Structures are given as structure tokens and as C-alpha cells.
Structure 1
Amino acid sequence: MGLWDAKGDEERDHWSFVPMASVGPLRFGMSSDEVAAALGGGEPAGRGCGSCRGESYETFTDAGVSAYYMDRMLYCVAVDALNGPQVTLGGVALVGRVPSEVEQWAWGQADRCGRELRYTHAADPELADLGLIIRAQRAGDIVLSRPVFLKERAEVTWDYVPSEEWRTF
């Protein structure tokens, strides 16, 4: 694969999202060791400390997942648009899609299901009561959807989502 190539759905692992509980094999509240084991036991390609006390992150490049921890417990998961697993909610694919298509789905969730749809400071649609933000990630000359899954509803997304994630494009 080239630098900007994105996997097709048939090449990706397939996971389900259970709002504020789990993303595929990852359950919110897991330790770093449990996350690594759930992702096949490999070491993260990168790790670091966040800007807030008690915040840390690990990037599992092969799995296409960034895991964010607060006080050593998983509370936020971002899935890489290019090579991450395809994550679905109610049968709807959320990863590696044209962002406007996922945004249209989010509008439908707000309209039909009464979900709270709002926008982050970066103009990313967020279904707050699901703990789901649909970010955009560059894939060469286009952008694709990069969902961010949260352990709980964030009153102020800017403060809740790790600063490292906001720096990922």
C-alpha cells in the first residue's frame, strides 16, 4: 500500500460499536495491556503522554487504532480512515467513507431518532448522546471519515477529546 492508499471494506476487519461501552474488541475502561492483547498482542507503534495530567495515548498502526487513556483506563478510541477496521453502528459503516455521507446519516439520526447532533470546534459532526464524533482524515487529495468513539457524553468536546487526536489530520 502507498502512503495515501485506503483499504477497501473487504480488506478491513469488521467491528461493531456499542455506544459508550465498546468498539469491536475494545471495552472502555480497559488497561493498556488489555487493549494490546485485544488488538493481537503487538506493541504500539507510538505512545506518549497527553497535555492533561493522567492522560496518555498509544497508536497501533497495524490495527489502525489510536487508544487514549485517562488514569490508565481506555476512554477514547479513534479509528484510522485509511487502514483501520470498518466499524458499524446499526449496520451503517462509519470508517473510510466520504464525510458528507456519514454526516447525512448523522442528520437522519437526529431527525428520526431524536439524537443530539452538534458540531465540534473543527466543524466535525458529533452525536453527543452516542459518544461519536465523525472527524475527517486526509487521504491524499481527498478526505475520509475517521470516527472517534467516547466512553461518555462530553459536555465540551474540546476538553474531553485528547489534544493529540485534534492534531491528527
Structure 2
Amino acid sequence: MDRGRELGAGTLVVWWRKRPEERRQWVLDPLVGLGPLRFGMSPPEVREALDGAVAVVTQGGEGDERWQWYSEEGVTAVYGPGPRLVAVAVDATSGPMVRLGDVELIDRVPSQARADLLALADRRGAGARVNWSGDVEVAAWGVSMGATQERVLSSDGCLRRGDRVRTEALFVSSGLADDPYGTEPVIAWRDVRDESANPGAWPVRALGRFGGVEPICRLLTMHDCKIAPSTY
């Protein structure tokens, strides 16, 4: 396992890459939970489910937590009112390996994970769409994929960008599944509303189920290419 490093004035950059065999192996139970985590858990229950792991960052006060980052586990717990667990973000390089059916979702080449997830959605009749970053999202399963570039430690101990891009994911409860990144709990954790949408995203959605001309026209309109259904 590669660890982080100390930088000036005692500041610790928390970074590492866990090998697949070193990670927890979790199974996704769509809209219910993943691994030992169940949507609806309180922050203390989440901590207990993670074997007493300590959240290195907590947004909100005790009893009013908005989200918690468990760096050693490679997961971020996102809370709604209560507070109760409504979403879990899994890190690409240190989070658990999460499986849905026969598809591994985390720490993969994005194009391969996308192809496998779309094939699974097609077999099970689940509609696949594109999210804000141009990655696959399946509302029926509460899955919103993402990707991040690896960061590695050079021989002289400096943190730098690696050459590979690997998959990460956000898993949400049923109340957030229709628009995960547009919901208040997720916005409190990561607000992407001012970030540019991936301009190359729409071909990914074209691989999903459209069910006619109108959905295609809506998709093109989302990407500033307005075409009326009557044009076809």
C-alpha cells in the first residue's frame, strides 16, 4: 500500500492506493445499501458498520452531520435529514471494490466499466442515462458513475498525476436516484452546478434505451442542439 506524505507545518496529505486484494469487497443492494452500509443509518451506525473507523472530515456539528469523509475506508457518507445516510461516494483508488451482479464498478478503465454496466442494464431492462460528467447513471439502481485521474508518489516523494483514469461512483437511496447531483444532500457535499457539463457526454446516453424520437430530441437539446421531433 502506498501512503501519503507530510508537507510543511505538520500538514498531512492523505493519499494512498490500495491494491484490489487489500480492499473490502462490497456488493451493491440497489437503493438499499452497499456492503455493511444501509441507507437510513445514523452517523454512529455508519461508524460502527465501518468497524469504528474515524471520519477525518465532518461537515456539520454532532447530530447535524451533512457528510463525513472516511479516508482510510475510501468512502464519503452523505446524510439527509435526521441525519440519516442517503448516499455513499466510493473513491477510485482507496475505496472498497463494489460489485453489481457480475460487474465490478470501482477502480476500472472507464470505457470498460461503462460497457459492462450498459450491457447489464440492457439485460435487466433498466434505463441508462448520462450524468453531469458524461458518465453512466442508472436511476433504477441508484448508481452514478464518475472517474478520476490517479495521483502517485514519485521517487523523490512528490505527489503527481498518474497516467491512468479510474472509475469511482456515487450510490444513492431511492429518494435521490432521479437526480443525484441535483439533490440538496449531495449538493452540500459536492456542488457541481457551476461545473461545465462534459460536451462529449451525449453519445454515451445514446447507448441506453430511448424509446422513440422525443427522448433523443430532449437529449440533443440538453447539449445546445435543439431539434424538434417534427424534424424527423
TM-score, length-normalised on structure 1?
A: 0.87
Distance 2:122 2:65 in 1: 35
Count residues in correspondence. Answer: 163
Say yes or no: does 1:11 pair with 2:22. Answer: yes
Say yes or no: does 1:31 pair with 2:31. Answer: no
Contact 1:17/1:23, CA 8 A, preserved across alignment? yes
Structure possessing the higher relative contact order (Cα contacts under 8 Å, 6 or more residues apart): 1
Question: Which residue of 41, 45, 65 corresponds with 2:75?
Answer: 65
String of CA shifts for 1:90-129, please: whole Å, max 9, x gaps. 1321111111111101221232221110011221210111
Q: Using a 3 Å threshold, how does the CA distance of structure 1 residues 48 and 73 change in structure 2: closer, same or farther?
A: same
Question: Which residue of 141, 144, 162 corresponds with 2:186?
Answer: 162
Counting only pairs closer than 5 Å after superposition, residues 1-169 of structure 1 correspond to structure 2 as 1-2=2-3, 6-49=17-60, 56-71=66-81, 72-139=83-150, 140-152=162-174, 154-160=177-183, 162-163=186-187, 164-165=189-190
Q: Rg: which structure is higher? A: 2
- Alignment gaps of 5+ in structure 2: 5-14, 151-161, 193-232
TM-score, length-normalised on structure 2?
A: 0.65
Distance 2:101 2:179 in 1: 26
- Alignment gaps of 5+ in structure 1: none
Distance 2:134 2:191 in 1: 12
Higher strand share goes to which structure? 1
Distance 2:101 2:121 in 1: 14
Distance 1:166 1:105 in 2: 28
Runs of 4+ in 1 over 4 A off after TM superposition: 2-5
Distance 1:79 1:108 in 2: 22
% identity of equivalent residues:
35
